[in-house]
Each structure stands twice: as C-alpha cells, then as structure tokens.
Chains A and B, each alone.
Chain A
Amino acid sequence: DTGVSQDPRHKITKRGQNVTFRCDPISEHNRLYWYRQTLGQGPEFLTYFQNEAQLEKSRLLSDRFSAERPKGSFSTLEIQRTEQGDSAMYLCASSLPGQGCEQFFGPGTRLTVL
C-alpha cells in the first residue's frame, strides 16, 4: 500500500496527558498537511510542510501543539496537556507542489480526551 498512513488510528487519553501522532506521506510527495475534523464539520487546516520546512501554521494551532517533519519524510503532531476540546479526528494529507495538485488523505487518527 503506497498511500498516506497514520498511526495510531485511535487514541484515548486522559485530560492533561501528552499525545503524539505520526503520518507517513506518499514517498515522492514533498508537501505534507495536517487538518483537524470535528463531528459534523469539514476538515480545518492546522499546518503544512514543504520538505522539512514548516511554512504555515493556523491560529487553531495553539502553543500546546507542535508538528515536525525532521527529514522531510514522515511527520509527527504532538499535543501537550490535552484538553477535552482537542477530541477530534486528525487528518494528514500529502501532495506534490502546486495549488491544483490533489491532496491524498490518510485514514486519520481519532483522538478522544476523557
């Protein structure tokens, strides 16, 4: 399978704990995006990378959130001191450069904060 993969698929944690998600993009894609999707809503942009450089961060990405893509391949999204409002589906997508290029989405990581 050469699609975008995410790990874990589900994460249940207690409020205040830290969590980290991983995304492996399609191998030749140099752009990687993180989105968050809450129930009944469309995905909302969080941040994106071109190779290893993080080029844009949404205001949704508070100081408790950090994302990395150290070697321009896989990426991690960490949430520190989780809150119940962080419960959502976290989606990763990758693409080739270009405004019209298709973004391929992974299956998502569903986070539940108790």
Chain B
Amino acid sequence: GNSVTQMEGPVTLSEEAFLTINCTYTATGYPSLFWYVQYPGEGLQLLLKATKADDKGSNKGFEATYRKETTSFHLEKGSVHVSDSAVYFCALATNAGGTSYGKLTFGQGTILTVHP
C-alpha cells in the first residue's frame, strides 16, 4: 500500500536558519507529491506540489524536488521566519487501479517552531 514517512519532530530553529524536513514515500503507480501546511488555528493549505519525477515544486521560499530514485520529496527553505512556525505534512496521491484517484496519503506531520 501507499505510505509516507516524515522526519520526526518537533524541529526548532532560529530565524534565518536553513530548514530541511525529510519525506520518503512508498507507492504503487506514479504518485503526485505534495507538501501541506497547517498554521496555528487554521486549516490545511497546499504549500507546493510536484506531479512527476525531477519536478521541483516551490512556493513562499520553500522548495521540494520529486526524486524517484530515492523515493523522496524533502522540503527545504534557505532562511526561515517566525511566521513559518506551523505543522508541515508530506502527502501523495496515486491512481493505482483507478479507484484511488486523487485521495491523499499523509505523513504524520512535522512541527516547526522558529524563534526570533
């Protein structure tokens, strides 16, 4: 079956530090990969996505590259801000067999706290 594994948190950084949150996946078929973010008190929002191998998704200074050879989709940001404090979820969607089309399989989430 499909699964997503994220690095365990929580992650605590100082402002302007470099961020990496690791994500690896197991999937049948050819998944699309996503990072969702959940800010305190808010709902899940799509941060970025990549739909095929070697694609790079980017948004708000965050980037992630779809690596088929290592089944990974690590999230990176060169310089974090206090406002990036949130929970980050890696997810995938596949269409294996036609019945799973579009449903998301999520990782367990990584809590990021950025201090001034």
Measuring CB to CB, which residues of chain A are less than 8 angstroms from any residue of chain B? 31, 33, 35, 40-45, 48, 55-56, 91, 93, 95, 97-108
- Kindly supply a per-residue 1/0 record for chain B positions 99-115, scoring 1 wherever the CB is within 8 Å of any chain A CB and 0 otherwise: 11111111111000000
Given A56-B100, A105-B44, A99-B94 contact (CB < 8 Å)? yes
Does A48 lie within 8 Å of B109, measured CB to CB? no
Query: How many A-B residue pairs lie within 8 Å, measured between CB atoms?
Result: 66
15 residue pairs of the A-B complex, CB under 8 angstroms, read A33-B102, A40-B109, A43-B44, A45-B104, A45-B105, A48-B102, A95-B102, A99-B93, A99-B95, A100-B49, A100-B51, A101-B102, A105-B36, A105-B44, A108-B43
Does A99 lie within 8 Å of B99, measured CB to CB? no
Residues of B within 8 A of A93 (CB): 44, 104
Residues of B within 8 A of A97 (CB): 101-102
Q: Among B36, B43, B105, which residue has its beta carbon within 8 angstroms of that of A106?
A: B43
How far is A104 from B49 in the complex, measured between Cα atoms in Å? Answer: 13
- Kindly supply a per-residue 1/0 record for chain B positions 28-43, scoring 1 wherever the CB is within 8 Å of any chain A CB and 0 otherwise: 0001101010000011
Does B99 lie within 8 Å of A55, measured CB to CB? yes
Q: Is the interface of B mostly helix, strand, loop or mixed?
A: strand
For B4, the closest partner residue in chain A by CB is: A42
| Cβ of B45 under 8 Å from chain A | yes
- Kindly supply a per-residue 1/0 record for chain B positions 3-17, scoring 1 wherever the CB is within 8 Å of any chain A CB and 0 otherwise: 010000000000000
Measuring CB to CB, which residues of chain B are less than 8 angstroms from any residue of chain A? 4, 31-32, 34, 36, 42-46, 49, 51, 89, 91, 93-95, 99-109
Residues of A within 8 A of B94 (CB): 99
Given A42-B89, A56-B99, A100-B32, A105-B43 contact (CB < 8 Å)? yes
How far is A61 from B51 in the complex, measured between Cα atoms in Å? Answer: 29
For A3, the closest partner residue in chain B by CB is: B43
Residues of B within 8 A of A102 (CB): 34, 46, 49
Nearest chain B CB to A4 CB, angstrom units: 8
For A46, the closest partner residue in chain B by CB is: B103
